[in-house]
């Protein structure tokens, strides 16, 4: 692709380049997979392409319901055009069902339905391993203002309701997921918008019937079949894909933009 464009940042699964216009960036989805704060690494061919498509579909839907996001449009197989935002250094975890670190921390069986949806905050800092923090830390250390935190919680609840319904409709349970938010500066105003990605890399998705894991836990727990699982999510979401199980004879084309 364009050799001259400036690389702004390279993360674990994505690269950011400067965009065609001021205030825009291009995000490139890599095939790299990491887990346990990058102690475990692999390249999983095709993962970036599928995540780009799944995240595009979800961000388009969220934009359509008036939820503010950084997403503008998908550019090609691996890249999206996004608005430049100042990332708020929090990983916002929304949980509906106990799994992962919550199960470990509180001794809850994985799969236990939570009494209500729970929002947790982790301080985004790789050196510290993204520690769990309380709202008090967030405001005391100025990572976000109380107003921004209110906005983040309200947006997270809306996103959870919307995504839970979206996935339920295609036979998938949304167990938990991670969100990141950013500050979008426009003229003299600043507002909180959804940033980063939403994909099986950042969600726990279980098949409603079989409880099969259709997310990054396949990599974290060495279950194999990660790309096939992500393809299954994409197929159920109606994203154009060649079937990989031979059940369909031709690709299914569904509106993409
Ligand atoms: O994923 P892990 O068990 O390490 O941590 P968790 O707190 O149980 O993760 C909750 C949800 O957030 C899962 O869907 C993870 O995939 C997602 N997450 C993420 O996308 N990135 C992180 N750095 C941490 C969690």
Structural domains in the chain, CATH included, are: 86-207 (3.30.470.20)
Ligand 1 binding pocket (C-beta < 6 A) is 91, 93, 99-102, 130, 176-178, 202-204, 216
257/254 Cα distance (integer angstroms): 9
Protein residue closest via CA to atom 20 of ligand 1: 202
Residue 227: how many other CB atoms lie within 10 Å: 17
Expressed in angstroms and rounded, the spacing between residue 176 Cα and the centre of ligand 1 is 8
Expressed in angstroms and rounded, the spacing between residue 255 Cα and the centre of ligand 1 is 30
Of 237, 206, 100, the C-alpha closest to 215 is: 206
- Substitution site in 93, 109, 129 for ligand 1 pocket (most atoms within 8 Å of beta carbon): 93
* Low pLDDT (below 50) residues in the chain: 243-249
Residue 48 is predicted with a pLDDT of: 98
Q: Which helix (H) or strand (E) holds 145?
A: none
Expressed in angstroms and rounded, the spacing between residue 90 Cα and the centre of ligand 1 is 13
232/121 Cα distance (integer angstroms): 30
Residue 129 is predicted with a pLDDT of: 95
213 beta partners: 206
Expressed in angstroms and rounded, the spacing between residue 101 Cα and the centre of ligand 1 is 8
pTM of the model: 0.92
């Amino acid at each position: 692709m364009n050799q001259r464009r400036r690389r702004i940042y390279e993360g674990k699964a994505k690269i950011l380049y400067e965009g065609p216009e001021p205030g825009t960036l291009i995000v490139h989805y890599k095939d790299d997979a990491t887990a346990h704060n990058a102690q475990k690494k692999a390249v999983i061919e095709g993962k970036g392409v599928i995540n780009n498509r799944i995240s595009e579909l979800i961000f388009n839907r969220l934009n359509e319901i008036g939820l503010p996001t950084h997403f503008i449009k998908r550019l090609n197989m691996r890249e999206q055009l996004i608005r430049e935002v100042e990332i708020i250094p929090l990983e916002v975890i929304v949980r509906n069902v106990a799994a992962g670190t919550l199960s470990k921390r509180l001794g809850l069986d994985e799969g236990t339905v939570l009494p209500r949806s729970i929002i947790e905050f982790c301080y985004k800092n790789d050196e510290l391993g993204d520690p769990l923090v309380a709202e008090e830390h967030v405001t005391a250390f100025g990572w976000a203002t109380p107003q921004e935190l209110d906005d983040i919680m309200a947006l997270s609840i809306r996103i959870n309701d919307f995504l839970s319904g979206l996935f339920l409709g295609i036979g998938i349970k949304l167990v938990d997921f991670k969100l990141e938010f950013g500050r979008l500066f426009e003229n003299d105003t600043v507002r909180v918008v959804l940033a980063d990605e939403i994909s099986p890399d950042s969600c726990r998705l279980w098949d409603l019937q079989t409880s099969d894991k259709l997310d990054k836990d396949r990599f974290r727990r060495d279950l194999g079949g990660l790309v096939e699982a992500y393809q299954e999510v994409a197929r159920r979401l109606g994203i154009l894909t060649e079937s990989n199980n031979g059940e369909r004879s031709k690709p299914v084309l569904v509106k993409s933009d």
